[in-house]
A and B are shown apart, each in its own frame.
Chain A
Amino acid sequence: KSCQTGKISTAENAVQSHTSRDAGVQTDQSKAAVQDFQQEVQVDYASLLSFLQRVEDAVIKELNRNWKSRAFDGFEVNWTDQNETVLCLHTLSYPKAQDQNLQVTSVSWNATGSVVACSYGRLDGGDWSTEKSYVCTWNLDRRGLNPERPDLVVDVPSSVMCLAFHPSQPSVIAGGLFSGELVVWDTSRTEDSVIWRTGMTDDTHTDPVYQVNWLPDSKHRNHSRLLSVSTDGKILVWREARDGRLALAEGFAVVAQQVPRSTQLKKFACGEAAVGVTSLSFSHFDPRVFVVGVEGGYSLKCSTAAETPALHQTGSSVPLRAPAELAFSPHGGPVYSVSCSPFHRNLFLTCGTDGQVHLHSMLQTQPLISLQLSKKYLFCVRWSPVRPLVFAAASGEGNCNKCFCLGDVHLFDFEKSSQKPALSIKQAAGEHPVYCLEFNIKQTRLLAAGDAAGTVKVWQLSSDFTEQGPREMNHLEQLASEITD
């Protein structure tokens, strides 16, 4: 027998599209919509009860077995390739600024994590400087990234001391100047990129602005407010007004006399002296609580809900209030940076020119742990956004005659050791301190650090700095609860 299929008919055919159109899609911020699920559900409670009675025993048995089970002890799974080394991915610089001996004063990552911006200025400029400075941005995800040519350079007539990208609009960035002004740029504009500025009014800071933060505005979901911190003792909150001007919405002034004293703090400037505020960090858990670090070496716990008017009012349009609630034990030198933990509501770090990092709990004045990280000044400290027990500190300068004063980035891991850094990275050959560093919240392996030589290095961290271990939160809770008084 044989089998044969009949002839299959075929035909040639061709298709071609002859018109095309480009279309772009971009997602907007989604509005968080949480449904109320108790609405129209018809529940048959009798059958629900019988279901629960049926499964109750099995579930409780499993729960009990889990408490006692040792089956998974020490069992860990690696989903990603373990990367053991720390690499320097990019070394970014702007040669024109380097020729003018400008230093990187601040770095910031944008909302999407692909653009890093840095500000050039001078941190050792002395009392007054009329130097021009630059704000440069690089898009690291772009092909053909040229590390010596920033994607955007903004000329600024005064030294920019600090930068902050907007938390949700990827092209908006705010900067604080040496002159005390604040400027907001929109990097997507090709023409004049300045969109808001404070100008020089009676409300403006009289000292350099050392830190600028974006605050979510509770009333208008899409608008944010800007907060600026300066050594004139004022912490000001600005809102967007007409004509591209920023107007003062509310403000705080830290005055020596109004700082709550505890028995352990003895030395204080007397009278109505303003206390120079150098840094600020908001709590991630309570939006009204923030911690500031001051030139006097101590840190203060403050609240935006404070009501008492400040003693030191210099005719600003909005009455200033005294925010301080608690003063913490001081460092041996000015505090340059504070950082609140994103994982625990009471923990925060402070670092100062005495080379120490203090881990504080908001519940007591003495630090939980004091670490002498180096003999050099510490300029910046930041908690890791993914690992609750890890933080990074930037150091440099200082009076050590014997050792090489190289700028370092120290990575500290409480899980490995509570005495010394897990890793110290040398940023650059030569004696250039590292002034600022920022973790990238979206691409959690990246850490940007800017130094006095005018370069920004983007470091890729090894996986042990980016993957959370199973017991970390417990360890953190344990650290936080070692309160003595």
Chain B
Amino acid sequence: GIPIRTTLDNSTTVQYAGLLHQLTMKARSTVRDIDPQNDLTFLRIRSKKHEIMVAPDKDYLLIVIQNPCE
């Protein structure tokens, strides 16, 4: 994906955009393979350090990285 707006630095943004675009496509095809009537609405990845949230759309992708305060 091509980044349009970001609050992070360039290189990190490009990295996140490319990797998460591929992962979102894979997640979407997984959901649709299991049930063709279903579709991906939201993707959340939780890691040791933070949580990455992806809101997908036909043309755009919104990626939010949150540091959950436990």
Q: How large is the interface on B (under 10, 10 to 19, 20 to 34, 35 or more residues)?
A: 20 to 34
A43 to B2, CA, bound (A): 10
Q: Within residues 19 to 70 of chain B, which ones have a CB less than 8 A from any CB in chain A?
A: 41-42, 44, 46, 48-49, 51, 53, 55, 57, 59-60, 62, 64, 66, 68-70
Check B2–A41 contact: CB distance below 8 A: yes
CB distance from B58 to the nearest CB of A (A): 9
- Is B62 within 8 A of A55, CB to CB? yes
- B60, A51: Cβ atoms closer than 8 Å: yes
Asked whether, in the complex, the Cβ of B48 is within 8 Å of the Cβ of A66, the reply is no
Contact across chains for B69 and A37 when beta carbons are under 8 A apart = no
Closest residue of A by beta carbon distance from B2: A41
Residues from chain A with Cβ under 8 Å of B66 in the complex? 63, 66
When the two chains form their complex, are residues A62 and B57 in contact, meaning their CB atoms are under 8 A apart? no
A58 lies within 8 A of B64 (CB):
no
Enumerate chain A residues within 8 angstroms of B41, measured Cβ to Cβ.
58
Q: How far is the CA of A242 from the CA of B51 in the complex (A)?
A: 54
Whose C-beta in chain B lies nearest to the C-beta of A69? B68
| Neighbouring A residues of B64 by C-beta, 8 Å | 59, 63
Whole-angstrom CA separation of A470 from B48 in the bound complex: 5
Complex Cα spacing A59 to B53, Å: 8
B27 to chain A, nearest CB (A): 16
With most chain A CB atoms within 10 A of its CB, the pick from B13, B48, B66 is B48
Question: How many angstroms between the C-alpha atoms of A473 and B16 in the bound complex?
Answer: 22
- How far, in whole Å, are A47 and B4 apart by their CA atoms in the complex? 13
Question: Do A468 and B48 touch (CB < 8 A)?
Answer: yes
B62 contact set on A, CB distance < 8 A: 51-52, 55, 59
Q: Which of A35, A43, A73 contacts B70 (CB 8 A)?
A: A73
**Residues of chain A lying within 8 A (CB to CB) of residue B10:** 34-37
Q: B59 touching A67 by the CB < 8 A rule? A: no
Docked CA distance A37–B55 (Å): 21
Per-residue CB proximity of A1-40 to B under 8 Å, as 1/0?
A: 0000000000000000000000000000000101111000
Question: In the complex, are the beta carbons of B60 and A48 less than 8 A apart?
Answer: yes
**Inter-chain contact B69/A67, CB cutoff 8 Å:** yes
Expressed in whole angstroms, the minimum distance between the Cβ of A40 and any Cβ of chain B is: 9
Known pairs A34-B11, A48-B60, A67-B68; A55 contacts B4 (CB<8 A)? no
Please pick, from B13, B42, B46, B53, the residue contacting A72 in the complex, using a CB distance under 8 A. Answer: B46
> With the chains together, A54 CA to B3 CA distance in Å?
19
Bound Cα distance A245, B39 (Å): 67
Nearest A-chain residue to B12, judged by Cβ: A34
In the complex, per-residue mask of A249-284: 1 if CB is within 8 Å of any chain B CB, else 0: 000000000000000000000000000000000000
A48 close to B53 (CB less than 8 A)? no
Q: Are A48 and B4 in contact (CB under 8 A)?
A: yes
A62-B42, A73-B70 known; 9 new pairs, CB 8 Å cut-off, are A37-B3, A48-B60, A51-B60, A54-B57, A55-B55, A55-B57, A63-B64, A72-B68, A72-B70
A: which residues have CB within 8 A of B? Answer: 32, 34-37, 41, 43, 47-48, 51-52, 54-55, 58-59, 62-63, 66-67, 69-70, 72-73, 76, 468-470
19 contacts between A and B (CB under 8 A): A34-B14, A37-B2, A37-B13, A37-B14, A47-B59, A48-B4, A51-B60, A52-B62, A58-B41, A58-B42, A58-B55, A59-B55, A62-B42, A62-B53, A66-B51, A66-B66, A69-B68, A72-B68, A470-B49
